Structure 1
Amino acid sequence: MAKHIIAVGAIYIDTILTLPHFPAEDEKLRASKYVRRRGGNCGNAFEVLQQLVEDDIKLHLISVFPNRASADYAFIRDSFKVSVDLSLSIHRDNSQVASSCYVFKSQETDSRTIVNYTELKDMQCHEFIDAVCKLSPAQDAFEGWFHFEGRTPDTLVECVKELRLIPQYSGFKISVELENPSRVGLELVAAEADAVFFSRAWAEARGFKSAVECLKQNMAATKEHALLCCTWGAAGASAVQKDGGEGIWCSVPAWKPELENQSVVDTVGAGDTFIAGMLCGHCCQTSCWSLEQKLKYATDLAGRKVYEEGFAELS
């Protein structure tokens, strides 16, 4: 039986400008580099996953797009390999413009500032359920994984609860990413998920000083046997698999290049790369790798990503 990984989240067209420093108000500044590429958390994760998985893993993306005939949708569609199925996605026929993301990278501070814009109405639960029912006719048995970008908590909680009621998906695992600190209520989605990915930004905004502290404080609010992961930049990552007791714990350091003078190139999408690594480990190496091996694989993959532009050769 083929396995399916279905990612649900926004897809953006990223415009990335590398600047000598972040501009002051009213300052005129020339960028040293310009990149335009498809982005968004789930899109980035699939950009990596399509390099890693075999043909028996089917990748499906559910997102909200502009009109099928628009130039922006053509740009996004053509940016994926044929192994990523976009047919379940939702189109807003009255819009020609995809969600947009503008990233300003400062060479002076090695930081990034991100500005998003979208005119596309967010996905509604009934649209999501219609999409997944197209993938799985009533007579078919499926197995695999749903991963949700943490965007609209009320809608996502409803989607997850409705998804649990569809018999064909009873064997699927469900994961959610808690990344953006400003999105209040994502804890309600995390409580329904089989796996939860916490970002450092989300954890620090709630007062946690380390990945382990974040995981310990959130264990009680998650499902029995849930997997919790938290990345912490240069400090590596930690994970716990709940087992009814204290849980199975592991922590791994961040990957570092052999050349000490090698510089960080592109941190955009490092967290998405980590999630891709964990999904690959859990869907492709279910019984072969320990939790520590999966965590190390994902952390190393994310570490290597920041030393290259984009995601082209992470496999």
Structure 2
Amino acid sequence: MDSIDTSSKPVEGPGFSILAIGALYRDVIVKVPQFPAEDAKQSATSEKVRVGGNISNTLSVLSQVVAPGTQLLYATAVGGPEAIWRITQLKTSEVKSLLFTHFFPKTTFMSHAYDDMLSRVYNAHSSFYPSWIHFEGRECFMVEGVIDHFISRREYKQNPCVISVEFEAYGRPGLDRLMGMCDVAFIAEGYMKAFLEEASKGSWDGNDKELMVRLFTNYLKRTAKRRATAFITVGSKGAYAVRFDAGTVEMRYIPAPEIASSEIVETTGAGDTFIAAAIYALGYRRLDAVKAAKIAVNVASKKCMLIGYDGLGNPGAGFGVLEGENPFATPAVGMSPVLPPARPTDGLL
């Protein structure tokens, strides 16, 4: 394997910026003394309200490790009186470099507001061209329109932006079509499992992770974009870095570090944290996919030991020791040679 720079200093090159599109939520975290039995009632000991949503979680983590002033744009459509509360909290305490958020009066169909928001992305910010665009994987047919808009611009011909999509909930209309349009796919184990069950017309116990990934990627190589990269998370087992190249597939398994159950305090948002760390490594640091997966697994594991997302990193040191070979991490087990270097025309990969 070629040596990889594991220092925290970003490499020199075109500035990193990201446009992330997805839903915004109000998360309510309720604490109980113990996990309740089925149909049992149990009083909560505390309740905490915070900003939620996959994209806001991802940007909250990413904002900790990029240089001040880095453009992290969050485009979302929300409705109702609580939208203002959420946006204010997000601006002041979560995403420090948030530049804009669209919110609209509550409508009968959420897609109306979403469509309006996208039209503003097209027009009001026509001068802005990000180096990375990330989609949560909702309103997928509209996402196609956003992708078509950006790849048709002259900037894309000169310096292609990286397009990434999260594949979390299998069965969302149009989500499967996005696999052939993205440069980077973030695929949850649940999505992979549901895909295989539908393809095989049966249930899947999911115990053999490697077999699942091999079967799944065998399907995907028919539709994935040429030289696309995929990260497939498998919960506490870690993740797989996958590279598609003209019908061939190369994989590398990155095991998760062993953490005592007593140290796990919150797993909600671990997947969003993984995505943030991978985007940081690939897009901001310009590391390869294997190194990005190692960093992402470590950072997501660390997040499970924290309440919320604060304290994972800082602009000066990045994710710190989580970016290097340290006692917290486990060496990767290679199932194939190192992933091939990307061509310059492949943008930031």
TM-score, with structure 1 as normaliser: 0.80
Q: State yes or no: 1:146 paired with 2:133.
A: yes
Q: For residues 170-223 of structure 1, what are the alpha-carbon distances to aligned partners after superposition, in whole Å with 9 as ceiling and x for unaligned?
A: 421111001012423301112111111110111111236433432332122111
| 1-structure distance, mates of 2:86, 2:68 | 28
Q: What secondary structure, in the 3-state scheme, does the structure 2 residue paired with 1:147 have?
A: strand
Q: 1:292 aligns with which of 290, 293, 296?
A: 290
For 1:166, the equivalent position in structure 2 comes to: 153
Number of aligned residue pairs: give it. 282
| 2-structure distance, mates of 1:21, 1:249 | 37
Which structure 2 segments of 5+ residues have no match?
A: 1-13, 198-205, 207-211, 314-349
Contact 1:214-1:230 at 8 Å conserved across structures: no
For 2:280, the equivalent position in structure 1 comes to: 280
Which structure 1 segments of 5+ residues have no match?
A: 96-117
Q: Residue 145 of structure 2 aligns to which amino acid in structure 1?
A: E
Q: Quickly say closer, same or farther: Cα 1:247–1:70, change in 2 above 3 A.
A: closer
Q: Quickly say closer, same or farther: Cα 1:71–1:37, change in 2 above 3 A.
A: closer
| 2-structure distance, mates of 1:245, 1:7 | 29
Q: CA RMSD in A?
A: 2.6
Mapping for residues 164-203 of structure 1, pairs under 5 Å: 164-170=151-157, 171-203=160-192
Whose relative contact order is higher, 1 or 2, with alpha carbons under 8 Å and at least 6 apart?
Answer: 2
Q: Quickly say closer, same or farther: Cα 1:124–1:310, change in 2 above 3 A.
A: closer
Q: What secondary structure, in the 3-state scheme, does the structure 2 residue paired with 1:91 have?
A: coil
Residues 153-162 or 227-236, more deviating: 153-162
Q: What secondary structure, in the 3-state scheme, does the structure 1 residue paired with 2:110 have?
A: coil
Q: State yes or no: 1:302 paired with 2:309.
A: no
- Structure with greater proportional strand content: 1
Q: State yes or no: 1:31 paired with 2:44.
A: yes
| 2-structure distance, mates of 1:295, 1:175 | 15
| 2-structure distance, mates of 1:290, 1:53 | 18
Mapping for residues 1-315 of structure 1, pairs under 5 Å: 1-19=14-32, 20-22=34-36, 28-55=41-68, 57-66=70-79, 70-85=84-99, 87=100, 89-92=101-104, 94-95=105-106, 121-122=110-111, 123-125=113-115, 127-137=117-127, 142-170=129-157, 171-207=160-196, 209=206, 210-244=212-246, 246-257=248-259, 260=260, 262-286=262-286, 289-315=287-313
Contact 1:229-1:237 at 8 Å conserved across structures: yes
Q: What secondary structure, in the 3-state scheme, does the structure 1 residue paired with 2:196 have?
A: coil
| 2-structure distance, mates of 1:55, 1:74 | 20
Residues 159-168 or 63-72, more deviating: 63-72
| 1-structure distance, mates of 2:230, 2:116 | 28
Q: Quickly say closer, same or farther: Cα 1:275–1:72, change in 2 above 3 A.
A: closer
